[in-house]
Amino acid sequence: MSYIEYLKKNHDYILKNKTNLFEEDINLIKYSNSCNNTRLRLELIPQPIVGDLQNAKIFFLSLNPGYCEDDIILEDDTKPNPNNYPYYRDILLNQLIQDGSVNNEMIWINEKLTSNQKLLTPGAKWWQGKIAQKDPKKSFLERATKESTKNKDEILDTLAKNVCAIELFPYHSKKMNKRLLLKCKSTQMIKDYVKNALVSRANRKEILICVNRSKKEWDICEGGNIIINNFPRRITFSVQSDYDYGKKIYCFSKQIGLF
């Protein structure tokens, strides 16, 4: 079974069984009962992938989705959404369909501001905070706008189609208990997919792989079109910083014509 087939199978399993666990990870249910920061928040859709796995050009590898109370509110489809983000849960669930039948993209990069000039989702606040820094000299988006005929919204829309975020462990928690990586079948599945499918494409310079966090757990060597962020507590895509992580992402994006 391919990884894309595996995702679709678990999309159907989640819908049928009204659960937020992949079938092979059902043993993890007991870790949702703890009272500390490592508690798994299984009220939320698992997020191994956000973006277009088959067509994206830039892949960001991280450890696991974090947890914020706003996530619970946004995904609750049993009552009207106070933040006015209809079908948010369905949009996240559809990220598990990566066979081309759903038009997936990195939804947080091009999320639009509300009428009171705010972003709704924690994901959008994080990602757009990395791309559109307040200091215009450091801002990825400001420089791209200056060097492109596209406006800011057009650049964000293009990036959303070409960026894919991958989590090694797909379940939400405030703090990650790394011992669970060994107990999680879906973790091994995504590691195998990245090593067998994406690394070879990066070696052919077709895509860029960016390891945001957990380089040891991903077990991927840096070189060529595989870059590693050596400051995981200070992730930035700044085009003017003390190290080259953001600059390399910017240069690749420009080189392949994203702006």
pLDDT of residue 33: 78
180-213 CB burial, b ≥16 within 10 A, e <16: bbeebebbebbbebbeeebbeebeeeebbbbbbb
Q: What is the pLDDT of residue 81?
A: 59
Q: Tell me how far apart the alpha carbons of residues 241 and 222 are, in angstroms, rounded to a whole number.
A: 20
| Cα 197 from Cα 215, distance rounded (Å) | 18
Residue spans of the domains in the chain: they are: 3-255
* Residues 257, 158: Cα–Cα separation, whole Å: 10
- Cα–Cα distance measured from residue 5 to residue 100, given in angstroms and rounded to the nearest whole number: 12
**CA distances, 31 to each of 28, 61, 63, 131, 188 (Å):** 6, 24, 17, 34, 19
Residue 9 amino acid letter: K
Closest by CA position to 108, among listed 150, 60, 43: 60
Residues with pLDDT less than 50, the chain: none
8 A C-beta contact, residue 64 and residue 167: yes
HEC string for 40-99: CCCCCCCCCEECCCCCCCEEEEECCCCCCHHHHHHHCCCCCCCCCCCCHHHHHHHHHCCC
Distance, CA of 84 to CA of 96 (rounded, Å): 23
pLDDT at 79: 63
pTM over 0.85: yes
Residue 30, pLDDT score: 87
Provide the pairing of β-strand 163-167 with 49-50. antiparallel
**Per-residue model confidence as pLDDT tens digits over 135-162:** 999 999 999 999 999 999 999 999 999 9
Pick the closest to residue 174 from 8, 25, 55, 34 (CA basis): 34
Evaluate whether 129 touches 156 at the Cβ level (below 8 Å): no
pLDDT at 78: 67
Contact 72, 44 (CB under 8 A): yes
